[in-house]
Structure 1
Amino acid sequence: PKQEEGGCGSRHLVLDALVGTILSQNTTDVQSHRSFAALKQAFPTWEMVRTSPPAAIEAVIKSCGLAETKTARVQAILQLLHDERGECSLEHLREASDEAVKRVLGSYKGVGAKTISCVLMFCLKRFDFPVDTHVWKIALALNWVPKAATRDQTYEHLNAKVPDEIKYALHVLLVKHGK
């Protein structure tokens, strides 16, 4: 794995990786990276994001699209973390099993298999195989999965079939090719 500037692999904190991946949903890498950087500059701590008025956050991340929805989801996650753990952090997941990470992250609204898989692979350096739109379309075109397979079904299938030692490289290659 390479530490690409501004990308998923450069986010060392689990919560940074999760929020960055949420911001990347339904937008370009350029826009999501720009929004994440602007968010961190305007609100240096996750506690500040949690307690700030939604409109202030929406204004900062508007370039990545769906700012109202993404703000609501991020603030809901931060509030849950604050209520349950007393802090806005997910660093405790570093010691958790893959299944525990999937269970915790999957309990948050708006966090699906692709987002969880990105956090597992890029931030936690686990063997997982994220299936975004590019990977899904290529897998369908190559008949790696049935034509009616959903993204989540494709994730389940490919995550089980792709050997661990090539998951990262193959994912990056397919995304690059798909773009």
Structure 2
Amino acid sequence: MLKPKAIESFFAALEAANPHPTTELEYSSVFELLIAVMLSAQATDASVNKATRALFAVANTPQKVLELGVEGLERYISSIGLYHSKARHIIETCRILVEQYGGEVPRSREALESLPGVGRKTANVVLNVAFGEPTMPVDTHVFRVANRTGLARGSSPLEVERQLLERIPERYRTHAHHWLILLGRYVCKARKPECWRCVVAQVCEYPDKTPAPKSSTR
């Protein structure tokens, strides 16, 4: 496990490389963010953005999405995995938002997690991105990077989340999950991490660091 001094260096390097990280999901309201995150489970941000550009152009409030109905919503999100169940969850969530919250997305974790299709990770993303809370959403990228580098070691997302919140210095926590997601998505990849171009390679505890590829010669 990385020691506190190494963790400070780890996040200082990520901050220097990208001072203002943010989600790659496209949204213009808290509601749009919620829907985009719900759709992003087991799907790429790029595929979600492609679908929501068309969807949000015609339905960008709970009431408007509710008026589409399940079948109408499915026409916009059919390119995304698990779209049948996601459409049902989104319609039910929109119904609750309209009937119980005046069409607004609630700000409490308990209320968010009570919405159909909204688990801990989705609630964490909304609380962090929309409301600026220092939560730690743990997706596959964060889980892998945390375990691989020595930031945190755990067999479940919740275990890794708790360790990260305990170990990451407070000043980095609001942006930490963005840095870890981007690191995992573009550098610390699952099959073959690109360690030779990683800004935290010097403090990372991964023992089998990947060397730079040899330049091809003719």
TM range (shorter): 0.7 to 0.9
Structure 1's consecutive aligned runs of 4 or more residues displaced over 3 angstroms after TM superposition are: 1-4, 143-147
Instruction: Write the distance in 1 (CA, Å) between the matches of 2:73 and 2:43.
Output: 17
TM-fit CA distance, 1:22:
0.6
Q: How does 1:1-179 map to 2 (within 5 A)?
A: 1-2=20-21, 7-8=24-25, 11-85=27-101, 87-90=102-105, 93=107, 101-147=108-154, 149-179=155-185
TM-fit CA distance, 1:167:
2.3
Contact 1:15–1:89 (Cα < 8 Å) also in 2: yes
Give the paired residue count.
Answer: 166
Taking a change above 3 Å as real, the CA distance of residues 44 and 146 of structure 1, as seen in their structure-2 partners, is closer
Calculate percent identity across the aligned residue pairs.
Answer: 23
Q: Which has the higher helix share?
A: 1
Instruction: Write the distance in 1 (CA, Å) between the matches of 2:38 and 2:78.
Output: 13
TM-fit CA distance, 1:45:
3.3
Structure 1 gap segments, 5+ residues each: 94-100
Contact 1:23–1:36 (Cα < 8 Å) also in 2: no
Structure 2 gap segments, 5+ residues each: 1-19, 186-218
Taking a change above 3 Å as real, the CA distance of residues 72 and 132 of structure 1, as seen in their structure-2 partners, is same
Per-residue CA deviations over 1:80-119 (Å, capped at 9, x if unaligned) read 122223x3221x52xxxxxxx1111111232122111111
Q: Which amino acid aligns with 1:88?
A: G
Taking a change above 3 Å as real, the CA distance of residues 178 and 76 of structure 1, as seen in their structure-2 partners, is same
Instruction: Write the distance in 1 (CA, Å) between the matches of 2:21 and 2:149.
Output: 27
> Whose radius of gyration is greater, 1 or 2?
2
Taking a change above 3 Å as real, the CA distance of residues 173 and 105 of structure 1, as seen in their structure-2 partners, is same
TM normalised by structure 2 equals 0.68
Tell me the residue number matched to 1:98: none
Instruction: Write the distance in 2 (CA, Å) between the matches of 1:127 and 1:145.
Output: 17
